[in-house]
Structure 1
Amino acid sequence: MKDTKITLVLVALFLLMLIGLGGAAVYYHGEYSDQQTANQQLKMDNERQSSVIATQSLQFNRFNQIAAAVQQYDAQITASSQEKQIEYRTILKTEPTCALAVPAGVSGRLLEYANSLRASAMHANSDITDSTGAYTAATGTLTYCQAVLWIDPLLTAIDQANSQLDGIRKIERARETGTH
């Protein structure tokens, strides 16, 4: 009887150990599954994040290319405008009508409009100056030669603004379509 009791106790202990090991196996398998799921989610998040970063990098590069092209074009037309200004000044030196004043009504409106545009474009930073050299102090009268000399810088400024707007449109199209 003692042997049966010892055998029963050993069997009971074995079964308890087996149940305990089975419970531990189930617990650690659940932990492993949870870690696998979390790991897969992190991998998917990393892949999505990598894709977003790659897309942003390509777009940033494309935007820089567009901005560089616009800047190069602006520099070219500014240089061309400066050459034209020198040429026009040379031609106008010999023009006898250069000192003739534009009628006061016309010149007053032009000067007033130019001053209002200049004032609305002024920056809070007083260190920013007119880099085009196209600024002419308003004297109250405008001569025909001054008006002629204003035309090319104004056309150049319009061309530069159009070029910049075209660059912005290209960037927006690239952003909308996702092209690089």
Structure 2
Amino acid sequence: MINKIAVALSALILAVIAILMWAAFHFYGTSVEADGKVTQLQSDNDLQTLTISTQSLNFQRSNEIAAAADKYAVKITGDSQEREIEYRTILKAEPTCALPIPADIANGLYDYANRLRSSAMYADSSQPVKAAVSATTSQRITYCQAVLWIDPLLTLIDQGNNQLAAIKKIEETRASH
């Protein structure tokens, strides 16, 4: 009888040991799997943090570049307006100021200006293009008017070049990150 009890007790102890070993391996495997998931989630969070900080830096840099371009545009527009006042003062004393430039040249300049204006407008089929329906001009330009067109046009080209340079700088900043 003692042998039977000893055998039963040994079987019970072996069963408990087997259950404990199974539980240990099971929970160890679950722990390793959970640790892998935690590591992956931490890696994902780190990558997301890096992406957000890079985007934030790019937005900040883009805003700085755009603000500088706007500031430059305001400055050169003001300078152009000052030059226009100066030119008007000088041209008042010019005796040939009212002479018209040849009609073919004037018509060509007006046509070109209207084409540029039309191409810059948004295509909206519900609204007529303003440049196409504007009042017909005399197509007459005096030499002084032509002179007064030059500086604002050069200013616009300068602004456009500065904006293109700013866009290029923004693209370089974005590419470097």
How big is each residue's C-alpha offset from its partner over 1:78-118, in whole Å with a ceiling of 9 and x where there is no partner? 01111112222233233332221110111111111011001
Counterpart in the other structure of 2:166:
167
Which stretch shifts more, 153-162 or 114-123? 114-123
Q: Which blocks of at least 5 consecutive residues in structure 2 are unaligned?
A: 131-135
Q: How far apart are the structure 2 equivalents of 1:42 and 1:36?
A: 10
Cα distance change, pair 121–138 in 1 and its aligned pair in 2 (3 A): farther
Counterpart in the other structure of 1:50:
49
Counterpart in the other structure of 1:14:
13
Amino acid at match of 2:171: E
Counterpart in the other structure of 2:86:
87
Compute the TM-score of the two structures, normalised by the length of structure 2.
0.87
Counterpart in the other structure of 1:144:
143
TM superposition shift of 1:124: 4.7
Q: How far apart are the structure 2 equivalents of 1:138 and 1:163?
A: 32
Counterpart in the other structure of 2:133:
none
Counterpart in the other structure of 2:100:
101
Compute the TM-score of the two structures, normalised by the length of structure 1.
0.85
Which stretch shifts more, 56-65 or 16-25? 56-65
Question: Does residue 31 of structure 1 match 2:30?
Answer: yes
Q: How far apart are the structure 1 equivalents of 2:87 and 2:79?
A: 12
| Alignment length (residue pairs) | 168
TM superposition shift of 1:69: 1.0
Q: Which blocks of at least 5 consecutive residues in structure 1 are unaligned?
A: 130-136
Q: How far apart are the structure 2 equivalents of 1:145 and 1:115?
A: 20
